[in-house]
A = this chain, B = another copy of it.
Amino acid sequence: MRAYQDLNREELLALREELTKEYDAWKEKDLSLNMARGKPADAQLELSKGMMTVLGDVDLIAEDGTDVRNYGVLDGIPEAKRLMGDLMGVKPSQTIIFGNSSLNTMYDTVARAYMFGIMGSAPWSKLDHVKFLCPVPGYDRHFGITAQFGFEMIPIPMNEEGPDMDLVENYVNHDPYVKGIWCVPMYSNPSGIVYSDETVRRFARLNPAARDFRIFWDNAYAIHHLYPGKERKLLNLMEECEKAGNPDIVYQFASTSKISFPGSGIAAISASEANIKDILSRLIWQTIGYDKINQFRHVRFFKDIEGMKKHMELHAQILRPKFEGILDILDRELGDLQIASWTRPAGGYFISFNAMEGCAKKIVSKCREAGVVMTAAGATYPYGVDPADSNIRIAPSFPPLDEILLAAELFATCVKLVAVEKLLEEK
């Protein structure tokens, strides 16, 4: 198939007729499919079924003697700190176990800085202006938090290596209003890229104008590889920060939401001991402690980080065919047409798709009309506005394989049809 740009008006008109028929045929199928949500599939949830009874006949006593059923322990039981510390590549002493969600942990971390400041600096609520850098495309719920607090969001384009570090350095090192940057460094949401070693080192070597600037390092997919054994590696930012004499610059987040159960997992933060001390000095007024029984349940079920990694291989077996199936369809249907590009992630939960400029909303709308719900176009940008109206986040995980393949076929038809219509307008 030739590139659409090379077709003349007559060829495009013929193509539109053909694609419209194809699209109408899809509509008649009365589909009801969903590629919007980064949710594990039922089969993945079944993998953790054993957690329901794993505490059935064990003493509910942590290794330091704590009765996990009773009050106490602000920072998490030792074995949970070790497990989540290993997941994030840090020491248990650099770890606090939180509640059921890393999103809530991130929100609370921003809220804490807003209300009380970081390590003695002024609360962000007392400043006339706060800015956050937002690599784009990115995670809509990150942007939602910063929007809630009224912070200015500055989009930073992503490239193959991570965020544009020239821009990041320019902002962070010179603008004292820049207090944070949202990062999903491993299998980024939605592009799936892994930050390069050089990008991580440049983060570690930042020299922020604001001493309360923090990198919000959302390591959501640290061990969520599609190809275990050939997995991508992410340089350890906290180690690099220590080497660079910048130990306090980062808050790292992780959870088991896509390891055990979304909403019923455990979340954690890791940071320098000075940051941990600062956080605990505030946290002690917020709670007596998080759910230690659930911490214990996770440790008993996974045993250790090796057990957790083995468990992730089972997730990969379920996810891989879905990613590969969609990518095969995109390659076959759109590969030569020069009307779109997309990423080929080796892990995580998303494929990032870029249509021709001005086409994303129309594609999503056409899909919806034919019964396939995609993530709203623009969702991957601050304020929900993609200036190029090009990016679409594809979430292959939740529907069964046969449904996801159907949805991808329909999606490809919509992409082609919208592209043809755009080209026709221009000719």
Instruction: Give chain A's interface residues, CB within 8 Å of chain B.
Output: 37, 39-40, 42, 45, 48, 52-53, 55-56, 60, 67-72, 99-101, 103-104, 107-108, 111, 114-116, 123, 125, 141, 144-145, 147-149, 257, 261-264, 282, 285-294
Tell me the nearest residue of chain B to A38, going by C-beta: B71
Report which of B111, B145, B287 forms a contact with A104, defined as CB distance below 8 A: B287
A125 contacts across to B, CB distance below 8 A: 115, 123, 125
Q: Copies of this chain, how many? A: 2
Given contacts A53-B53, A56-B53, contact A107 B286 (CB under 8 A): yes
Question: What would 14 more interface pairs be, CB under 8 Å, given A71-B263, A125-B125?
Answer: A37-B71, A39-B71, A52-B60, A53-B53, A68-B264, A69-B262, A71-B257, A101-B287, A103-B286, A111-B115, A141-B285, A148-B282, A261-B293, A262-B288
What is the distance, in angstroms, from A197's C-beta to the closest C-beta of chain B? 32
Report which of B48, B100, B108 forms a contact with A291, defined as CB distance below 8 A: B100
Whether the pair A52, B45 counts as a contact (CB closer than 8 A) is: no
Name the residue among A52, A107, A148 with the largest chain B CB count within 10 angstroms: A52
Instruction: Tell me, in angstroms, the Cα distance from A69 to B265 when the chains sit together.
Output: 10
What is the distance, in angstroms, from A304's C-beta to the closest C-beta of chain B? 22
What is the distance, in angstroms, from A221's C-beta to the closest C-beta of chain B? 15
A288 contacts across to B, CB distance below 8 A: 101, 103, 141, 262-263
Given contacts A52-B56, A149-B115, contact A263 B292 (CB under 8 A): yes
Whether the pair B286, A264 counts as a contact (CB closer than 8 A) is: no
Given contacts A125-B125, A285-B144, contact A264 B69 (CB under 8 A): yes
Whether the pair A290, B100 counts as a contact (CB closer than 8 A) is: yes
Report which of B45, B60, B147 forms a contact with A67, defined as CB distance below 8 A: B45
A261 contacts across to B, CB distance below 8 A: 69-70, 293
What is the distance, in angstroms, from A341's C-beta to the closest C-beta of chain B? 29
A39 contacts across to B, CB distance below 8 A: 70-71
Whether the pair B292, A264 counts as a contact (CB closer than 8 A) is: yes
A147 contacts across to B, CB distance below 8 A: 285
Instruction: Tell me, in angstroms, the Cα distance from A264 to B298 when the chains sit together.
Output: 14
What is the distance, in angstroms, from A379's C-beta to the closest C-beta of chain B? 14
